Amino acid sequence: MAKITLNNIAHSYDGGANYALKPLSHAWHDGGAYALLGPSGCGKTTLLNVISGLLQPSEGQLFFDDVDVSALPTERRNIAQVFQFPVLYDTMTVAENLAFPLRNRRGTDKLAAADIQQRVQQAITLLGLEVLANRKARGLSADDKQKISLGRGLVRTDVNAILFDEPLTVIDPHLKWQLRTQLKQIHRQFGHTMIYVTHDQTEALTFADKVVVMLAGEVVQMGTPQELFDAPRHTFVGRFIGSPGMNILPCELQGAEAIIDGYAVALAREYPALAGVIELGIRPEFVRLAGTGGDTGAQSGEGLPVQIVGVEDVGRHRIARARLHSHTLDIIVPEHQPIPAQPRVVFDQSRICIYQNSQLVSWEDD
Amino acid sequence: MKTWNNKAWFFVLPVLLLVAFSAIIPLMTVVNYSVQDSFGNNEFYWVGLEWFQEVLASERFHNSLMRNLLFSAIILLIEIPLGIAVALAMPRRGWGVSVCLVLMALPLLIPWNVVGTIWQVFARVDIGLLGHTLTALGVDYNYTQDTFDAWVTLILMDVWHWTSLVVLLCYSGLVSIPDAYYQAARIDGASRWAVFRHIQLPKMRRVLVIAVLLRFMDSFMIYTEPFVVTGGGPGNATTFLSIDLVQMAIGQFDLGPAAAMSLIYFLIILVISWVFYTVMTHQDSESVTDNRQGGGQS
């Protein structure tokens, strides 16, 4: 296990015309569980392949602890990687598959057959694959195959990190949860550094201690799931995280008020005059539906008048889609609250985020 | 519920007729000849299995069969490994791919008798590039007189003509392997040999079955090229079953024995092909039954 440090790592697939990964300096702490989250093509797999050495970055250095591994080939980096589609050696049994990375060692690293046997047995027990141990790998279910792919990393005691490249893509939904839980357990038990690439926020937020959100080859925010939810540093993070994502509304600032389409929204504090595109972000969870008509008991005149254009019942609550002049707005409505006839929306003052040119205007600035 | 639509027969009928006229009826005719004797004048007499016994006991048949088996064995032993090696060496992307594919396809596009003629001229001692060069270099080479030289020439010709078929089949198997397999192998520290043994070879197995079957059947039935190049000589050194058969049927007009021999010939190809197929797909069926058991367990 090791701390992994990126020093100005950047990569371009076309010789510098476009950067799939823009210069990035970052340290992954020993034993951390990280998720790289972002839409397809944002550079997360590129970053992962740079760490494992499958890809030689165009620029920058990579350190495992204090050793520069930039020039080391993949097999010398002691990295385990689980791919999107399970990769198994079809002609071998499950146990042979697990033994494969150990049997490949030559010279001073060579392991005795008994050691290999013992480690394979441990991995099999750990993953609950006892029944399958002597079966041919071909024709197993996708989740078993993915477990075996993971197992090939776990049999090695010297792995610096385990990398996951969207490993649950081909897994049935009801097994995803189970496999993810198993991953977390393994992480807690062994403390491997784990880096998990995904475009699914649920996977990222449930798996990782720290989530790294990427967009167009850049890291836009890194933080705990709570931080990403409470204070998205970029409007992209706000929209991408959450179900539904954050409402982003263009506005103008006037002291401690934001003006949206002529309606004033009180803010928790005063902002200085800011140049550029100013937007107000509020999560659907913190928008309250008020208004007259129906039995809401709300005062009239409070909040902004909206038109409800649709309501989706997602089970534990409902999502109302509203129009506020030319903007649309998602509101989470508790299951039993009626929708008023003349609806208005009220924003939870303390939860409002203000963005300047898509970047969060933070409180510490002044 | 299946819906039966009798109109479908109209669509199948042309093919049925075609197969009937091109395969079934001629085959039945051959069966008919094989159990009768004729003395011209279209008079036929029932002789039972006499021709079969005669052919199976004849030394001439044994010799041709042995030559054919040896030829097919050599062809498979050279063309399959060579084909795999060339396929592995071919580029996977870039402009080289189409260049290689076109080069590989070229020998396959040449008609068989033309291939024979090309090699017949190529190997001639007086004017052929190969024959003349070898002689000039002091090698004692003459495929029209020396058995070994005749065999070498025929084998070289077949390798030149057909290895690219094996290459193309193997290549199609190789390019279907996702990159992730190679990446996983690098992560697992697999050697080049281990990658071949555990990733590339298993993924090529299906196409290799086809390649082996095609190359076996074709080489076992080879006729045109040796007929053009050596005419079965020197002596009977390159008289394969097909050449023998044609001599018997058309040269000597022994219809009964020729019919019996062609049926035996057909059965041998069928049996050997079946053996190849069964052996090479054995692992597949094993894992299929495995699946069913696994499905039952889980």
DSSP state of B167: H
Residue B262 contacts by C-beta under 8 Å, 6 or more apart in sequence? B30, B34, B245, B249
Interchain proximity B187–A74, CB inside 8 Å: yes
Considering the domain architecture, whether residues A301 and A215 belong to the same structural domain is answered as no
Interchain proximity B188–A104, CB inside 8 Å: yes
CA pair distance B298, A176, nearest whole angstrom: 17
CA pair distance A165, A76, nearest whole angstrom: 20
Considering the domain architecture, whether residues A324 and A227 belong to the same structural domain is answered as no
Q: Find the helix or strand (DSSP H, E) in which B37 lies.
A: strand B36-38
> Which of A52, A104, A132 is nearest residue B194 as measured by Cβ atoms?
A104
Phi (first) and psi of residue B243, to 5 degrees: -65, -45
pLDDT at A19: 81
> Which of B180, B189, B298 is nearest residue A87 as measured by Cβ atoms?
B180
Considering the domain architecture, whether residues A332 and A203 belong to the same structural domain is answered as no
CB B56 within 8 A of CB B263: no
Considering the domain architecture, whether residues A65 and A140 belong to the same structural domain is answered as yes
pLDDT at B291: 42
Q: Is the pTM of this model over 0.90?
A: no
pLDDT at B214: 92
Chain B residues closer than 8 Å to A133 by CB: none
Note the pLDDT tens digit of each residue in B31-40: 888 888 877 6
Considering the domain architecture, whether residues A157 and A50 belong to the same structural domain is answered as yes
The complex scores an ipTM of 0.75
Mutation target for A interface from B179, B182, B188: give the one with most A CBs within 10 A.
B188
Q: Which one of A181, A200, A234 terminates a domain?
A: A234
Could you tell me if residue A347 is inside a domain?
yes
Measured CA angle at B40 (ends B34, B46), to 5 deg: 35
Q: Which one of A234, A256, A277 terminates a domain?
A: A234
Could you tell me if residue A320 is inside a domain?
yes
Interchain proximity B184–A83, CB inside 8 Å: yes
For residue A297, what pLDDT band results from cuts at 50, 70 and 90? very low
SS (H, E, C) chain A: CCCEEEEEEEECCCCCCCCCEEEEEEEECCCCEEEEECCCCCCHHHHHHHHHCCCCCCEEEEEECCEECCCCCHHHCCEEEECCCCCCCCCCEHHHHHHHHHHCCCHHHCCCHHHHHHHHHHHHHHHCCHHHCCCECCCCCHHHHHHHHHHHHHCCCCCCEEEEECCCCCCCHHHHHHHHHHHHHHHHHHCCCEEEEECCHHHHHHHCCEEEEEECCEEEEEECHHHHHHCCCEHHHHHHCECCECEEEECEEECCEEEECCEEEECCCCCCCCCCCEEEEECHHHEEEEEECCCCCCCCCCCEECEEEEEEECCCEEEEEEEECCEEEEEEEECCCCCCCEEEEEECHHHCEEEECCEECCHHHC
- Nearest alpha-carbon partner for A195 in A47, A87, A86: A47
pLDDT at B1: 56
Interchain proximity A104–B294, CB inside 8 Å: no
Give me the number of domains chain A comprises.
2
Q: Chain A: give the shortest CA distance to residue B250, in Å.
A: 51
Peptide bond into B81 cis (omega under 30): no
Interchain proximity A54–B186, CB inside 8 Å: yes
Note the pLDDT tens digit of each residue in A239-293: 888 888 888 888 888 878 888 877 878 787 878 877 788 888 888 888 888 766 5
Q: SS3 helix, strand, coil % of chain B, rounded to 5?
A: 75, 0, 20
Considering the domain architecture, whether residues A167 and A199 belong to the same structural domain is answered as yes
Considering the domain architecture, whether residues A174 and A283 belong to the same structural domain is answered as no
Nearest CA in chain A to B199: A89
pLDDT at A20: 83
> Which of A73, A85, A136 is nearest residue B180 as measured by Cβ atoms?
A85
Could you tell me if residue A57 is inside a domain?
yes
**Does the structure show a pLDDT above 80 at A300?**
no
pLDDT at B74: 96
pLDDT at A51: 87
CA pair distance A136, A310, nearest whole angstrom: 52
Could you tell me if residue A115 is inside a domain?
yes
> Which of A49, A87, A92 is nearest residue B184 as measured by Cβ atoms?
A87
Mean pLDDT to the nearest integer, A226-237: 86
Chain B residues closer than 8 Å to A84 by CB: 180
Domain that holds residue A248: 243-360
Place of tokens 């079965």: B232
Mean pLDDT to the nearest integer, A102-110: 77
Of A37-46, A318-327, B42-51, B79-88, the poorest mean pLDDT is in B42-51
Mean per-residue pLDDT over chain A, rounded: 82
Exposure string over A231-241, b if 16+ CB within 10 A, otherwise e: bbbbbbbbebb
Mean pLDDT to the nearest integer, A76-93: 84
Q: Chain B: give the shortest CA distance to residue A44, in Å.
A: 16
> Which of B187, B288, B290 is nearest residue A79 as measured by Cβ atoms?
B187
pLDDT at A202: 83
Considering the domain architecture, whether residues A168 and A66 belong to the same structural domain is answered as yes
Considering the domain architecture, whether residues A29 and A154 belong to the same structural domain is answered as yes
Could you tell me if residue A137 is inside a domain?
yes
pLDDT at A363: 62
SS (H, E, C) B265-287: HHHHHHHHHHHHHHHHHHHHHHH
The reply to whether B295 touches chain A by the CB within 8 Å rule is no
Could you tell me if residue A59 is inside a domain?
yes
**Does the structure show a pLDDT above 60 at A113?**
yes
Q: Which one of A185, A214, A234 terminates a domain?
A: A234
Considering the domain architecture, whether residues A204 and A249 belong to the same structural domain is answered as no
Q: How many CB atoms lie within 10 A of CB B65?
A: 19
Considering the domain architecture, whether residues A326 and A230 belong to the same structural domain is answered as no
pLDDT at A354: 83
CA pair distance B207, B227, nearest whole angstrom: 30
Considering the domain architecture, whether residues A165 and A271 belong to the same structural domain is answered as no
Q: Which residues of chain B fall below pLDDT 70?
A: 1-3, 40-41, 283-298
Q: Find the helix or strand (DSSP H, E) in which B46 lies.
A: strand B44-46
Q: Angle B59-89/B255-297 helices, nearest 10 degrees?
A: 40
Q: Environment class of residue A107 by beta-carbon count within 10 Å: exposed (0-12), middle (13-18) or buried (19+)?
A: exposed
Q: Which two tokens stand for residue A48?
A: 């992962």
Higher pLDDT, A8 or B81: B81
Peptide bond into A244 cis (omega under 30): yes
pLDDT at B2: 63
Q: Chain B: give the shortest CA distance to residue A259, in Å.
A: 52
Q: Hey, which residues does A354 pair with through a beta bridge?
A: A280
CATH number at residue A15: 3.40.50.300
Q: Which two tokens stand for residue B60?
A: 């001439």
Could you tell me if residue A333 is inside a domain?
yes
Higher pLDDT, B87 or A129: B87
Could you tell me if residue A19 is inside a domain?
yes
DSSP state of B176: T
Task: Give the 3-state secondary structure of residue B38.
Answer: strand
CB A42 within 8 A of CB A200: no
CATH number at residue A278: 2.40.50.140
**Does the structure show a pLDDT above 70 at A364?**
no
